[in-house]
Amino acid sequence: MSAVLKPGASTTVSARSPARAKPALLHPAAKPLLFMLCVLPFVWLFYGAVANTLGANPAEALIRSTGDWTLRFLCITLTVTPLRQWTKQPALARFRRMLGLFAFFYVVLHFLSYAWLDMGFDLATIAHDIPKRPFALVGFTAFVLMIPLAATSFNRAIKALGAKRWQALHKLVYAIVLLGLLHFFWMKAAKNNFGEVAIYAVVIAFLLGWRIQQRLGFGPE
């Protein structure tokens, strides 16, 4: 990025004190702006529920939409690391925690929507329903696996666990996103609707394949 020079100033910029504009990714407003963007799907769903604009079956719309946004945020979170390398923007890493927590936020909404709108918060019925339906069991397993990731998403947890154990724990996200994809596949299979499933499968295969490639040493460090 070229420096802005005052009239009469030398065209040579000191290597010790480069005159560079502050990157937009480090701007104080960057995180609040991302937060507002991440909240928009919730605002839209909340408004739709209040205004009764979610269609003929609002309960199903809420359950499925919150599930869709969970999978989307998982994919977006996994995109941060490769995007950071491709664009050579290490500051992108500062947004990963927020994106991961929003994935957890939407999966909590997804489960609560199911527990409330489908099951009426009847714990006995929920406990009976989940194991008997494979797609529900897979989705619930992914939800349970996300809990320790959300619970350890702060700096004190990293210090308490140690960096290596913390990183090993957070590798659960790869199993979670695959379970989420399987949950989505089984849900869509009931209606023979595989178009969206194929898109998510390609995206997830690419994101996990890129990581395998890095692990095997075929990509840049």
Written as tens digits, the pLDDT of the chain (221 aa) is 444 444 444 444 444 444 444 578 999 999 999 999 999 999 999 999 999 999 999 999 999 999 999 999 999 999 999 999 999 999 999 999 999 999 999 999 999 999 999 999 999 999 999 999 999 999 999 999 999 999 999 999 999 999 999 999 999 999 999 999 999 999 988 778 899 999 999 999 999 999 999 999 876 54
The pair of structure tokens assigned to 53 is 């604009």
| Per-residue pLDDT, 218 | 75
> Residue 94: phi, psi to the nearest 5?
-70, -10
Under a CB-based contact definition with an 8 Å cutoff, are residues 54 and 61 in contact?
yes
| Per-residue pLDDT, 220 | 53
The pair of structure tokens assigned to 191 is 């209606």
The pair of structure tokens assigned to 121 is 């918060």
Residues 6+ apart with CB under 8 A from 20: 1, 3
Q: Which residue has the tokens 């925690």?
A: 97
pTM of the model: 0.88
Among 133, 215, 141, residue whose Cα is nearest residue 175: 141
| Per-residue pLDDT, 189 | 86
